[in-house]
Homo-oligomer: A and B are copies of this chain.
């Protein structure tokens, strides 16, 4: 009943997908024969195209239109047909160099990763900052802004920093604050949110002499800050490359197969997705739990609004300790080989950078030859 997949048909499918990815134009039989100098006539190719269509890998919008891959077609291409290349060494070098230039500035890595992903894959990118499963307290500093206003700098494991100002009931000297911060740092060291909460509860029951009203207030502040941070960290996704994605023909009315309205509506939707993170929600935890590069194509998404988009994601980080997710999002007609190799490279690069930070033994520190 269903046609079988001959070598030639596989080859033709590969050509169609590659061609459509490149040109964004439906692929015609005649054109394939001429452009690639196939040894068959266009009629033969047409038969194969019809077979591939019956198998569900291709469609066409109307009788006299060329073929376009379906989601299943892209999936088959990604799994079985595409050339598994890496980024060129020159590109890798260039990217490494850019990261080298912001060495030490952890908060810039995320931005840079987003920018590089977007530029290299010519689509939008998304990056979540590296996060520990559990925020763990490391250090506290209390800096006097003026007599009754204090800047608290909370440092957590993994180089995560949060600042918070608060007012005092009574004036305190900078030295006083410093001593207090030292005591607190020791008391709270390595605790998680629940640990701090516990301490606060205990403390309330049997107050220690060194921990007075003020100290308890600070612990409450820390608790609150950690809770808020964990919550907002889960939602926060950095994204970039909107402009790159918008230069894809899908978003250019004159080039879009359907009319201009659609192109703009699509754009608005895309913006919405990137900004709100809706439609990406499940993807992130899912990617965090997986190894290697994940590809989700069009209708494979659980969200309806994502069915015109594909996402290429990978986890990065050290062990299970500090991890994040980064990836590329764009129309289903996406240069999968390139996107995948870019995501793979950047995730491994980020992982190495983080490993240097936390393990130290992996490589000599970046500062070494500065």
A: residues with CB less than 8 A from B are: 104-107, 138-139, 141, 143, 145-149, 151, 153, 155, 159, 161, 163-168, 242-243, 246-247, 251-254, 259-261, 263-264, 267-268, 271-272, 275, 356-360, 364-368
CB neighbours (8 Å) of A268 from chain B are 243, 246-247
Cα distance A254–B263 in the bound complex, in angstroms: 12
CB neighbours (8 Å) of A159 from chain B are 145, 151, 163, 165
Cα distance A148–B366 in the bound complex, in angstroms: 11
The 5 closest A-B pairs by CB, nearest first: A167-B365, A260-B260, A167-B367, A104-B164, A104-B165
- Taking a contact as CB atoms under 8 Å apart, the answer to whether A161 and B165 are in contact is no
Cα distance A163–B18 in the bound complex, in angstroms: 44
Q: Given contacts A146-B360, A253-B253, A264-B263, are A141 and B167 in contact (CB under 8 A)?
A: no
A163 to B, closest residue via Cβ: B161
Shortest distance from the beta carbon of A141 to any chain B beta carbon, whole Å? 5
**Of the residues B161, B165, B260, B359, contact of A264 by C-beta under 8 Å:** B260
Cα distance A259–B254 in the bound complex, in angstroms: 11
- Interface of A, helix, strand, loop or mixed by DSSP: mixed
A164 to B, closest residue via Cβ: B104
A102 to B, closest residue via Cβ: B228
Shortest distance from the beta carbon of A261 to any chain B beta carbon, whole Å? 5
A228 to B, closest residue via Cβ: B105
CB neighbours (8 Å) of A251 from chain B are 264
**Of the residues B155, B164, B261, B271, contact of A242 by C-beta under 8 Å:** B271
- Taking a contact as CB atoms under 8 Å apart, the answer to whether B261 and A254 are in contact is yes
- Taking a contact as CB atoms under 8 Å apart, the answer to whether B146 and A151 are in contact is no
Cα distance A178–B254 in the bound complex, in angstroms: 62
- Taking a contact as CB atoms under 8 Å apart, the answer to whether B246 and A271 are in contact is yes
Shortest distance from the beta carbon of A368 to any chain B beta carbon, whole Å? 6
Q: A104-B165, A242-B275 are in contact. List 15 more A-B contacts (CB 8 A).
A: A139-B141, A141-B141, A141-B155, A145-B357, A145-B358, A149-B360, A151-B159, A153-B161, A167-B364, A167-B366, A242-B271, A246-B268, A253-B261, A260-B263, A264-B267
CB neighbours (8 Å) of A243 from chain B are 268, 271-272, 275
12 A-B pairs, CB-CB below 8 angstroms? A104-B164, A106-B165, A146-B360, A153-B161, A159-B165, A167-B366, A243-B268, A246-B267, A247-B268, A260-B264, A263-B264, A267-B267
CB neighbours (8 Å) of A242 from chain B are 271, 275
- Taking a contact as CB atoms under 8 Å apart, the answer to whether A260 and B271 are in contact is no
Cα distance A252–B267 in the bound complex, in angstroms: 11
Shortest distance from the beta carbon of A29 to any chain B beta carbon, whole Å? 32
A242 to B, closest residue via Cβ: B271
A246 to B, closest residue via Cβ: B268
**Of the residues B155, B163, B246, contact of A151 by C-beta under 8 Å:** B155
A263 to B, closest residue via Cβ: B264
**Of the residues B143, B254, B275, B365, contact of A138 by C-beta under 8 Å:** B143
Cα distance A259–B253 in the bound complex, in angstroms: 10
- Taking a contact as CB atoms under 8 Å apart, the answer to whether A357 and B143 are in contact is no
Q: Given contacts A242-B271, A243-B272, are A153 and B166 in contact (CB under 8 A)?
A: no
CB neighbours (8 Å) of A264 from chain B are 251-253, 260, 263-264, 267
Cα distance A272–B104 in the bound complex, in angstroms: 29
Cα distance A139–B272 in the bound complex, in angstroms: 41
- Taking a contact as CB atoms under 8 Å apart, the answer to whether A141 and B168 are in contact is no
Shortest distance from the beta carbon of A183 to any chain B beta carbon, whole Å? 13
